[in-house]
A and B are shown apart, each in its own frame.
Chain A
Amino acid sequence: MNYTFQFAAVLEELPYLLGGAVVTLQIAFASFWGGAVIGLFGALAKVYGGVVARRIAAGYVTLLTNTPALVQIFLLYYALPDAGILLEPMTAVLIGLVLNAGAYLTEILRAGVLSVRRSEIEAAATLGMSQLQIVRYVMLPHIAKTIYAPLSNFFVWLVLGSSLAALFGVEELTGRAINISTANLRSIETFTIVAAIYIVLTVIASASLALVGRWAFRVKAKVF
């Protein structure tokens, strides 16, 4: 083995990389919550909707979960301008990931909604609970427990998946890593450190999701 590791060249760019990590988290959070709103409506449409709403939701999920997120963003970023719509890199990536996340979250949330037994809702109504109380004390705990694990998995996927934004000129963690590795040519060192930053990001994300789950819905999630 003849290679001498030189991490110093990368470590001096650490603030620049961490700035990229912030952008990565912004993309992940924005697409997660944007997707969650779509997912909520999608799930409600699929469970409680009429024929038309169910068909539309099913079509949307089928279309978006069976094509790669990368292809969807390519369409938004490179194909739409030919139709006269010019999206900024970040906008195209966010729209793409929100639509993509919406489709997956529709299915995740649907599983949650289905996990509530009708008899429990009826029992709660008999006890005189209001609609809001039923949602808060009967439905949400069930839903939270069912969807907690797939939801945190999906959030981690979004943190990692946001790296494809680098292909569209967004300066997030992976993009910045490529930038500095082409200047310092220390690819091994650069991407080792970037991998470590991603691990830290996802560990923090999982831990905070676990804390929220435990605190708000008494989900039995391991923090560490």
Chain B
Amino acid sequence: MLRQILALAALLALICVTPVEARSLDEILKDGTLRVGVNPNFPPMSSFGMTNQLEGFDIDVGRRIAEAMGVKVEFVTTETAQRVPFLVSNRIDIALGALTRTPERAKLIAFTVPLHSESMGVITTDKVSAETWQDLNREDITLVNMRGNLSVEILKDKLPKPKVLLVDGNADTIRAIAQGRADALVENVDFFLNFLKNYRNVTWRVLDDPIFVAYCSLGVGRPYQDLVNFLNVLLFDMHSSGEINALWERWYGAPMAVPINPVPWF
């Protein structure tokens, strides 16, 4: 038994000393394929559409970046919690999927300038009496969220009193409220509105006084900076030409709640 445990420990040690470094811009250009991480359960950012092909804002952005680089694009599906680990383990070159820029994440991966903003609001129903997000700070409230979302940590400080139910995907959060397991979701409202139409018999309410605004960037694996530089230049062009906003409006049907003002130096 002891010997087996030692063997297992040795195997584990072997498995966990294999992180690799990300590819440089040159390596990607030479390979001819850009691996883009997208969340397949996240309409209208990216999801499998009617023809079972990936489509959405992130998909258009990913295609556009690959086109500018002159390489093919390969979409790799990642769940929310896998975005950073996939970059660290060099399974993708860039991560999309509304990756919020944070100092904690920046210790592990590199970020470009913002791609889009996200402002946190509240999705709830007529059964819950709350007019502002502060009204939710009660013990009889259950907030639903997704494991792996940054907002889980932020809300521990901002709304400490409610109970928290953590589910697995975007659709599960709305389903939990519709089925009565939870009272409200405090998250970037834009990302979840699409799921409300699945439950027409529920009277949904959106409280959109912004709790705070954050910025989502493209995540890039370390240590090379050249890909980040390239993406910053490209993103500046795409922002200043209005291309990103046009894509956003195409998929969300409305402009970004908090617009991104492109800055020509990084």
Contacts and interface: CB of A to CB of B under 8 A. Distances in A.
A3 interface: yes
Contact of A185 (B16, B84, B180): B84
B5 interface: yes
Nearest to B153: A183
Given A86-B180, A169-B167, A178-B148, A187 B175 contact: no
Q: How large is the interface on B (under 10, 10 to 19, 20 to 34, 35 or more residues)?
A: 35 or more
Interface string B5-42: 10011001000111111000000000000000000000
Contacts of A82: 179
A66 interface: no
Contacts of A175: 147, 166
Interface stretch (A14-22, A132-140, A147-155, A191-199): A191-199
A199 B2 CA distance: 12
Interface in A151-182: 166-169, 171, 175, 178-179, 181-182
A224 interface: yes
B152 A81 contact: no
Interface residues of A, number: 33
Given A178-B147, A192-B12, A199-B5, A89 B168 contact: no
Given A2-B223, A166-B147, A224-B1, A188 B181 contact: no
Interface of A is mostly: helix
A3 B87 CA distance: 12
Interface string B38-81: 00000000000000000000000000000000000000000001
Interface of B: 1-2, 5, 8-9, 12, 16-21, 81, 84-85, 88, 104-105, 107-108, 147-150, 152-153, 165-168, 172, 175, 179-181, 222-223
Interface of A: 1-3, 5, 78, 81-82, 86, 89, 166-169, 171, 175, 178-179, 181-185, 187-188, 192, 195-196, 199, 203, 207, 222-224
13 contacts: A1-B18, A1-B19, A78-B179, A81-B180, A178-B81, A178-B148, A179-B147, A179-B152, A182-B153, A184-B104, A187-B85, A188-B16, A199-B5
